[in-house]
Amino acid sequence: MVGVSVITPSFNPGPFLRETIASVLDQDYPHVEYLVMDGGSTDGTLELLRGYGDRLRWLSEPDDGQTAAINRGWQLTNGELVAWLNADDTYRSGAIRNVADYFAAHPAVDVVYGDCDYTDSGGRTVERYPTRPFSYRELVRSTINYLPQPATFIRRRAVEAVGPLDESLHYVMDFDYWLRLGMQHRIAYLPACLATLRLHAGAKSVKAVEHFGPELIRVYRRLFASPRLPAPLRAIERQAMSNVYYRAASIALWTGHARQARAYALRAWRYAPLNVRPPLLLSLFGETSTRLLTRCRANPYHRGVAPHSGFHGE
């Protein structure tokens, strides 16, 4: 049986860390190495961690943020499979065994992701994360991150081949990593619910969502500049870049930055004039913009323009 290393990055994580830890320690798989990488919390987290004794490892010291903590955690662990679980998310019962069995049965696969439930601050299921079977072309073209980060596991050999997470990214480092992995490694979808992803007021995907668009644009510019990108995908560059700018426009609109949203939408149209998004364009340039923006802010799960689907930070 292969070892699985799970890293939880944390910094003043609030009330959710206990549930996150329990979801890892309660797994029925015997070879789990669990390490909490804490950035020097001052909210009682250290007392909580000390209470687990030798049931888990933890390290608490100032770091360079969530992405750096995950990278260092992977370096300090030894499992053949690696993952990270943010301090407000959880694994479903049996998730790690399910994943380990899949990897054992499919030795050529280097990344496995499953289904994931969105939950609210009280842990109640809101809806299912919109996953789908893997297609690298579709992942690149759509710009939609349909690999839910809490439900994704990676062989260490792939991490060693691709390199660490990009520490200059703080919001879309997971999507960037899937794009990098997909160039060279087999990724497979396991149709089983493996994890939960919590949406709450303190989550990056809620409080700092306006930063996702610029990072996503930077990731895609670098992707199409990469000599490793398979040649057939260069044929969809203009459509993919158009989709990226439309996605950035929807995020900017949702966060109240209408002028920036219009600029992004114009760039999207210039990349691919036939790739139009009538509902979004109507909300940006039509009389319905104020009403639509009010509706989106009132309902953070609204998928008309709300960007939560497919991005998640600590």
The verdict on domain 4-200 having CATH code 3.90.550.10 is yes
Whether residue 183 contacts residue 232, with contact meaning beta carbons closer than 8 Å, is answered with no
Each domain of the chain, given as residue ranges in start order, spans 4-200, 207-298
Q: What is the DSSP letter of 53?
A: G
Question: Mean pLDDT across the chain, nearest whole number?
Answer: 88
pLDDT digits (tens, 9 = 90+) for 187-199: 999 999 999 999 8
Sign of CA dihedral 201, 208, 144, 175: negative
pLDDT level of residue 301 (50, 70, 90 thresholds):
very low
Name the token pair of 312. Answer: 């998640």
Q: Write down the residue that tokens 């479903």 correspond to.
A: 92
Q: At what angle are helices 278-285 and 289-298 packed, to 10 degrees?
A: 110
Radius of gyration of the chain (CA): 19
d(CA 201, CA 204): 8
For residue 296, pLDDT beyond 50: no
pLDDT digits (tens, 9 = 90+) for 10-52: 999 988 999 999 999 999 999 999 999 999 999 989 999 999 9
Higher pLDDT, 125 or 276: 125
The pLDDT score that the predictor gives to residue 73 is: 97
